[in-house]
């Protein structure tokens, strides 16, 4: 149809092979992350024991406030729904929107932040496999199975997203990609921290800095309360999420400085012209992929 052909030509004029490769890379990486994350389950008793150990550690540190916080907001529907919305909508939807904007406006910064996301996700997968941990919302059900004498502060958590927003992680449509025992580290906080850092970095010294920088600071701050008030994480989960995300930044810098240039040189030497042409879809004057050029930070 003429309309469809016209729309396809317009799409081609606005995109490139580099855009296609980038979308494919990110989509495959996140699908692989959630597939592996969802497969690393089947240790509910260990996950429950680890969560109880974490509660006892936070009690000794004097920072076990999650049960009291949930009790305080239990009958305050507006507050509960506000943090439900923050937890759900100020995470992946915002990450995607900011990622698209950064990709087209500041490619080098986008590349480094993207790599930090992917590296932190890989680090977190290792921890999920080695040390499964149940989130607070799962503890009441697990206590009925493994610990009938569990104290009230273990059995009193609720899942506010399921109860008030109508969203549950264990629905049939999402079950294959969800690991209910992946509370530690909290990438929900860690990735919002990376997003906030990326926003501040992208707008630093620019016209909208005084608007966007406070938003970048507010995002992880609000998410700390969202992940705990909704019963999805403990405070120390957020600390661990921040750790893996911040460790990923220098690793991403090292990749951009040493791995990408070497990768570009290897692609140039490939004996298949069609493959070289496709991968080097936007070469610079030296014949190296633009990825290698713009990743230098």
pLDDT, tens digit, for every residue of 117-171?
999 999 998 999 889 999 999 999 999 999 999 999 999 999 999 888 776 655 4
At 5 the pLDDT is: 60
Share of the chain above pLDDT 70, in %: 81
- For residues 51, 57, 62 and 64, what is the CA-based torsion angle, rounded to 10 degrees? 0
Q: Say if 284 falls within a structural domain.
A: yes
Q: Is residue 14 one of the residues assigned to a domain? A: no
The structure tokens listed for 107 are 């490619």
In a domain, 21, yes or no: no
The verdict on residue 38 lying in a domain is no
The reply to whether 199 falls in a domain is yes
**What band does 291 get if pLDDT is binned at 50, 70 and 90?**
very low
pLDDT at 1: 58
Task: Tally the domains of the chain.
Answer: 1
Confidence band, pLDDT 50/70/90 cuts, at residue 173: very low
Q: Domain of 133?
A: 46-294
Peptide bond before residue 117 is cis, with ω within 30 degrees of 0: no
Q: CA-CA distance, 219 to 195, in Å (whole number)? A: 8
Average pLDDT of the segment spanning 231-243: 97
**Number of CB atoms found within 10 A of residue 297's CB:** 12
C-alpha torsion 184→187→192→193, nearest 10 = 60
How does DSSP classify residue 149? T
Q: Which of 33, 156, 95, 107 is nearest to 293 (CA)?
A: 107
Q: Specify the length of the chain in residues.
A: 297
Average model confidence (pLDDT) for the chain?
A: 84
Does the pLDDT value for residue 6 go beyond 70?
no
Q: What is the pLDDT of residue 74?
A: 84
Is 90 exceeded by the pLDDT of residue 75? no
263 pLDDT band, cuts 50/70/90, is confident
Q: Is the pLDDT of residue 271 over 90?
A: no
What is the distance between the alpha carbons of residues 94 and 290, in angstroms, rounded to a whole number? 26
Kindly state whether residue 51 falls inside one of the protein's structural domains: yes
pLDDT at position 79 is: 94
């Amino acid at each position: 149809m003429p309309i469809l052909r016209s729309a396809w030509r317009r799409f081609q004029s606005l995109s490139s092979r580099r855009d296609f490769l980038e979308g494919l890379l990110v989509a495959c990486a996140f699908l692989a992350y959630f597939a592996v994350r969802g497969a690393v389950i089947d240790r509910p008793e260990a996950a429950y024991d680890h969560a109880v150990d974490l509660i006892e550690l936070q009690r000794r540190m004097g920072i076990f406030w999650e049960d009291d916080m949930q009790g305080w907001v239990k009958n305050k529907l507006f507050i509960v729904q506000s943090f439900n919305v923050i937890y759900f909508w100020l995470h992946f939807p915002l990450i995607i929107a900011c990622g698209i904007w950064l990709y087209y406006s500041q490619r080098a910064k986008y590349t480094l932040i993207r790599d930090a996301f992917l590296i932190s996700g890989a680090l977190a997968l290792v921890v999920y496999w080695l040390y499964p941990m149940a989130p607070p919302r799962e503890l009441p059900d697990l206590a009925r199975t493994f610990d009938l004498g569990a104290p009230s502060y273990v059995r009193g958590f609720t899942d506010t997203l399921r109860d008030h927003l109508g969203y549950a992680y264990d629905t049939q449509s999402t079950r294959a990609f969800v690991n209910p025992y992946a509370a530690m580290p909290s990438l929900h906080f860690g990735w919002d921290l990376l997003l906030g850092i990326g926003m501040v970095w992208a707008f630093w010294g620019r016209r909208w800095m005084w608007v966007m920088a406070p938003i970048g600071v507010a995002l992880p701050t609000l998410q700390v309360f969202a992940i705990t008030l909704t019963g999805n994480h403990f405070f120390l989960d957020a600390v661990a999420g921040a750790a893996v995300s911040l460790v990923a930044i220098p690793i991403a810098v090292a990749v951009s400085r040493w791995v990408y240039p070497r990768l570009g040189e290897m692609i140039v030497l490939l004996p298949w012209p069609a493959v070289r042409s496709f991968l080097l879809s936007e070469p610079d004057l030296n014949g190296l992929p633009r990825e290698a050029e713009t990743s230098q930070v």
